Amino acid sequence: MYDLKELEVFVSVVNTGSLTACARELGLPKSTLSRKIRHLEDVVEQPLLRRESRRIIPNEAGRLFYRYSRDMLELASQSREALDELREEVSGKLILCCHESLVRGWFSRVVESFMARYKGLSVSVQTRREIPDTMTDGVCIWIGPLARTTLRQKSLGHLSQGVYGSPEYFARHGYPATPGDLKHHAWVDRLGWDSAGLVLQNPKEGAYPLRPPKRAFTVDQFCVQGDAIADGRGLGLMPHWLVEGRLKAHPGTLAPCLTRWQGPLLQVSLLYSHGVLPRRVRAFINHVTEAVPESWWSPEEGARISLVPENGTYHANN
């Protein structure tokens, strides 16, 4: 009888051609991967892999065994999922990672409604400033560019952005009339922007490359940026949706300027592991997908947001 974990390692090594990439994909040390491969070769009583240049590739026996290994893993996955579907309750521990700017408000309400629906769950919510390397039993919701990740990615929509300041700041320094005027204003920046600056878009006038204005403050969190702008430290580019939520709690603290100009769209992504997902993970993906605010997506995008099916192995790469 073959060990399914060893088959999974073997298939991953063949797919990636590297122990390093395989270790990153499976979240296991390379020493463990090597040991599992050696044991699998002992079981089949012949070598399955060989090195060619800087890659690991299957030999003739490995190519043959690879096809059967994929089939065995697929059948095992389908059987586990079929048995899981027989359970009446979604239970166990679910780990939810979330970008710091979404934890308050919307995401907390999504988690509360999910837990009210599935009372047998234990949920751990973790605020993140970096994308996790692996997600073995949960999901991550992220705002902005995605660094290189082996996690599956599903778009939940986009946040549009505009330039904001406080009413007190505008009373002292006036409103910029054009994007070029921003160079005369203090700027509250977020870490992570390209040093070449931003690009503002106008539907009639096109794109305006915005060189970094004189910075009064640089932060790494949206909430801190909002506090600094509200305190009158300068102007800054913020997502409209986040500002709307902030103004509900603190009316009159922020005001837009250059309203005909928009900053780059920020993608909101759902990240989770490859392979068969536990029922609690699939249930939460469906739940959060149904809770996406309409302002995050256009009608065309909304039509493409699909749910994870309740039956059958999920393979879509949304």
Q: What is the pLDDT of residue 213?
A: 65
- What number is the average pLDDT over the span 269-278? 86
3-state secondary structure of 86: coil
Asked if the model's pLDDT at residue 304 lies above 80, the reply is no
Q: What is the pLDDT of residue 209?
A: 87
Does residue 119 lie in a domain region?
A: no
Lowest mean pLDDT among 26-35, 97-106, 230-239: 97-106
Q: What is the pLDDT of residue 280?
A: 87
Lowest mean pLDDT among 84-93, 133-142, 224-233, 302-311: 302-311
Q: What is the pLDDT of residue 90?
A: 75
Q: What is the pLDDT of residue 314?
A: 37
Does residue 313 lie in a domain region?
A: no
Question: Domains in the chain: how many in total?
Answer: 1
Asked if the model's pLDDT at residue 195 lies above 50, the reply is no
Asked if the model's pLDDT at residue 306 lies above 50, the reply is no
Provide the percentage of residues in the chain whose pLDDT is more than 90. Answer: 50
- Which DSSP state fits 235? B
pTM: 0.64
What is the tens place of the pLDDT at every residue in 124-146? 998 887 888 887 788 999 988 88
pLDDT band with cut points at 50, 70 and 90 for residue 242: very high
For position 33, which CATH number holds? 1.10.10.10
Does residue 58 lie in a domain region?
A: yes
| Closest residue by Cα to residue 57 from 15, 27, 21 | 15
d(CA 17, CA 54): 9
Does residue 172 lie in a domain region?
A: no
Does residue 10 lie in a domain region?
A: yes
Does residue 68 lie in a domain region?
A: yes
Domain that holds residue 24: 4-85
Q: What is the pLDDT of residue 215?
A: 60
Does residue 170 lie in a domain region?
A: no
Residue of higher predicted confidence among 254 and 152 = 254
Find the DSSP H helices in the chain. 4-16, 19-26, 30-44, 60-85, 100-102, 108-117, 167-173, 222-230, 240-249, 279-290, 299-304
Residue in this structure with the two tokens 């992504």, named with its chain if needed: 269
Residue of higher predicted confidence among 242 and 53 = 242
- What number is the average pLDDT over the span 137-158? 86
Most confidently predicted of 106-110, 162-166, 306-310: 162-166
pLDDT band with cut points at 50, 70 and 90 for residue 317: very low
| Closest residue by Cα to residue 258 from 178, 182, 202, 159 | 178
Asked if the model's pLDDT at residue 7 lies above 50, the reply is yes
Average pLDDT for the chain:
84
pLDDT band with cut points at 50, 70 and 90 for residue 87: low
Does residue 28 lie in a domain region?
A: yes
- What number is the average pLDDT over the span 70-83? 83
